[in-house]
Amino acid sequence: MYTLDRGKARDILITELGYDPKIADVYLDSYPEIHEDLADAAKAWLEDRTVVDVMVEGVTIRQLMDAHDSHFLNALSSLNDLLTLVLDDEQKSSLVSFLRSPLIRALRAGGGG
């Protein structure tokens, strides 16, 4: 398992993604250790924000980022769940289905309603 470089991740969350420092700390306190299959992608992103588009169970990091309007660390954590959680076939299939589906977004400003 790979442990995320917390200092680098914290700096990125705060300076580039606009997280409040306290929220960044809470987020990282609960961030999981990363499966070795995802470690190189994590290292590349921490180094220069390169997104190595790893695929797990037919789901990619970019696909998750786009479909769930999410940042890299959230997408990585979701793929990590597919590799590390103990799931039966039905549970894994449900998780893959959820991850592949775009989230329904609330109406944006000026969108009516």
Residue 35: name the closest of 53, 50, 56, 51 by CA: 56
Q: Give me 2's structure tokens.
A: 């790979």
Three-state SS at 50: coil
Q: Give kind and range of the element (H or E) at residue 60.
A: strand 59-60
pLDDT, tens digit (0-9, with 9 covering 90-100), for 52-95: 989 998 999 999 999 888 899 999 999 999 898 888 889 888 88
Q: Tens digit of pLDDT for each residue in 8-43?
A: 999 999 999 999 999 999 999 999 999 999 999 999
Read off the pTM.
0.81
Between the alpha carbon of residue 79 and those of residues 7, 14, 15, 55, 97, the distances in Å are 22, 23, 25, 8, 13
Rounded distance between C-alpha atoms, residue 77 and residue 86, angstroms? 15
102 — pLDDT class (breaks 50, 70, 90): confident
